[in-house]
Amino acid sequence: MVASGYGSPEVLVLQDIELPPPGPGQVLVDVRAAGANPIDYKLYSGQMGDDHANLPMPVGMEVSGVVAAVGDGAEGYTGPLTVGDEVIVTGVRGAYADQVLADGSDVGRKPSALSFEQAAGLVLTGGTAWHLLTETAVGTGDTVLVHGAGGGVGLMVVQLAAARGAKVIGTASPSRHDELRRYGVEPVAYGDGLVDRVRAIGPVDVALDLVGTDEALDTSVELVADRSRIATIAGFARGGDLGIKVLTEANGGQAIRDAARPELLALADAGALEVSVDKVFPFAEAADAHRYLQEGHARGKVVLVP
């Protein structure tokens, strides 16, 4: 699946591409599922640049699947790789495909506790969550406010924060509150009176913004005195002006996320980290999957399958 131009999801088209056999250090993987992420449509929307030399643009960055062929010296971040291994692959371009060719260093063994659909949604959201918690030094005894706790990244954040010994307050629509309580979260509805509802639960040490709204940013700076313990992955326009941490893969962020990969797989394998899959779409309906993501109402991960 590629973007034939810049614009809305209608630019997505299927294209036949011949992949070469894996070279030294590479792995060829038969795809069973691909994770859909907002970055997938942001790249071809034009909001991150519109260099037509990049067209047609391969779409998708993470998959789960089965190793079909292994190049000389290929080794994953969880150990040696052999044909038939069930794996997770990140860091690729063109994940919405029947097969992907990847560097072995971007491949890890799929946790047996996860289905292929769940596994395709683990590493990118989990790495982002890990980055947020690491940069704000979340630990035992902290109370963490998570804006957008019911989304794909949010559900990872609340689980990993709780595993670090933190208490979690999560904003979400009321329909998602029961699910958040299952993870030990104190849910609160967003909207007028949010600051008062959070204060009624208790003081907040850390605020993590996953949605980028003015409400999330204003609430965070009002409730958390130390702005080095407020981070956003969405409020790019105002985050810098407010003096909070604006987190991306740049400036060391990718290194933190990559280092988290084996830890995330180990936690999932032990049953200590769940991946909630909201909807599964066939590759041919990738445009519909992206429209659904753009609505901002996904309750967990959106996944594509061949």
Provide the CATH number for the domain around residue 210.
Answer: 3.40.50.720
Q: Residue 100 is encoded by which pair of tokens?
A: 């992907």
Amino acid 35: pLDDT: 98
7 and 88 within one domain: yes
Last residue of a domain, one of 227, 246, 265: 246
* Percent share of the chain, pLDDT over 90: 98
Amino acid 172: pLDDT: 96
Is position 265 within any domain? no
168 closest CA partner among 151, 152, 147: 147
182 and 212 within one domain: yes
Amino acid 299: pLDDT: 87
Is pLDDT above 90 for 75?
yes
Q: Taking all residues of the chain, what is their mean pLDDT, rounded to a whole number?
A: 97
Is pLDDT above 90 for 173?
yes
Is 206 in contact with 225 (CB distance < 8 Å)?
no
Q: Residue 280 is encoded by which pair of tokens?
A: 């599964």
Is pLDDT above 90 for 249?
yes
Last residue of a domain, one of 230, 246, 262: 246
Report the number of distinct structural domains present in the chain. 2
230 and 138 within one domain: yes
* CB neighbours of residue 280 within 10 Å: 16
Is position 262 within any domain? no
Is position 260 within any domain? no
Tens of pLDDT, residue by residue over 206-246, are 999 999 999 999 999 999 999 999 999 999 999 999 999 99
Q: What is the CA radius of gyration of the chain?
A: 19
Is pLDDT above 90 for 251?
no
CATH number of the domain where residue 51 is located:
3.90.180.10
Is position 30 within any domain? yes
151 and 112 within one domain: no
161 and 118 within one domain: no
37 closest CA partner among 283, 274, 305, 290: 290
159 and 82 within one domain: no
Is position 251 within any domain? no
Query: What's the domain range around 105?
Result: 2-122+275-305
162 and 103 within one domain: no
Last residue of a domain, one of 225, 246, 267: 246
Q: From CA 232, how far away is CA 89, in angstroms rounded? A: 26
Amino acid 39: pLDDT: 93
Is position 69 within any domain? yes
Q: From CA 7, how far away is CA 94, in angstroms rounded? A: 18
